[in-house]
Structure 1
Amino acid sequence: MQRSGRMFMPGGRRGRVGGLRDLVIPTVLMILLGGAAAGAADHESGFGFAISVPDVWLVLTRGEVAANAPAFLAREGNAGLSSIPLAMRRIVYDRVQSGELEIFYRREAAPGEFVDNVNVLMQPAELPSARDQLDQLCGILPGEFSRVFGRPIAMDVCEMRVRAGRPALYLQFDGAIPGTTTLQYQIERGRNATLILTATSTRAHLPRMLGEFEEMVESIRLH
């Protein structure tokens, strides 16, 4: 049966902007906050669920992000942030000020290395409810991502699964940053609401990320 509402289309008109923000935000936050977050085990998310996070990961909550948000707009003072356009930092600032995301990141990266990360947010979206809708979405996304990222993007996996007892769309594709891979679960929370968890890792660390991300997602307890 066809449902009303919008499907989350990372490469669509809405997703073309939102998807890029969601992939850039973790990088900006890592530059600003470094190791400010605490080690994690069972984490109670502000988005209405509990999740088990491996000890090697750090949790950056919405409150911690919001507390540091004004620094995103400083014109001087952080050499890493000064290399990021002010307009992009404004986008990040707006997102964190409204408390729209949480970040988990692995704390074993060497200085200057890409930091494997997971970001969590909610979107007013609906998932495919029929096979033809899924096929259409999976056929569109590689081209949309390629246009957004300005280079050919391969989609390795695009399928429906069940996670936390709910329908979930799973995507695995080339990351926005060359040499990385992005994994994403979109889990149905209710009518026109979707919980989105996006993990990005270097290809060298992908096998490790696949295992740890699955463990995290499978541990989710929705409230």
Structure 2
Amino acid sequence: MLSPLPSTEPPQDCPLCPRLAEFRHVQQAAHPDWYNAPVPSFGDPDAWLAIVGLAPGLQGANRTGRPFTGDFAGILLYETLLKFGLAEGSYAAVPDDGLTLKGAMIINAVRCLPPQNKPTPEEIRTCRPFLEAPLAALPNLRVVIALGQIAHQSAVKALGGRLPKARFGHCAEHWLPSGLVLIDSYHCSRYNQNTRVLTPPMFEAVFEKAAALRAQEARAASM
């Protein structure tokens, strides 16, 4: 999967997190036909909206090479992006389905598959430059949506904020020193959806808020 922001990506066999590198090599041996590498960002380099996820899933992005592609979480995410005009085409859970993003970019806070989907705090910190760089490379970025608390914490730090002043909460809105707005969402994981921690209307409300903030800024700029 080619990155829209190639200069911001980690190397294909990134060694910076020894535990994640070792786990990657295990998966490469077990599934040689899978992607099994740091997953690149996916989307529009002119994006006004960035979506920050946690990390690749074993059967999802680690297998396919595209964020949220091939796992349960991707269904709700991409259906919502299509509904809000932030994607074009159709989502078929494979990286060559022709789906494109329009005005949006997806970036994982941790680029490599972590065992049991649980990166350590040190791994999250080590990978943060690969979140900071693509966010900084988006010239039209205005709003960031963080999917889950880990993504929230990493996005706040990447954007120059302070966690005590930016507490995670679904649909919470945080204005950061960078001038960007961060909106939180519960992660669209299978568990959160099955337990109704997150419902489609709740998820859509986050994107409605993002769209409203962008429209508000556009009106102010035109006055």
TM-score by length of 2: 0.27
Q: Which has the larger strand fraction?
A: 1
TM-score by length of 1: 0.27
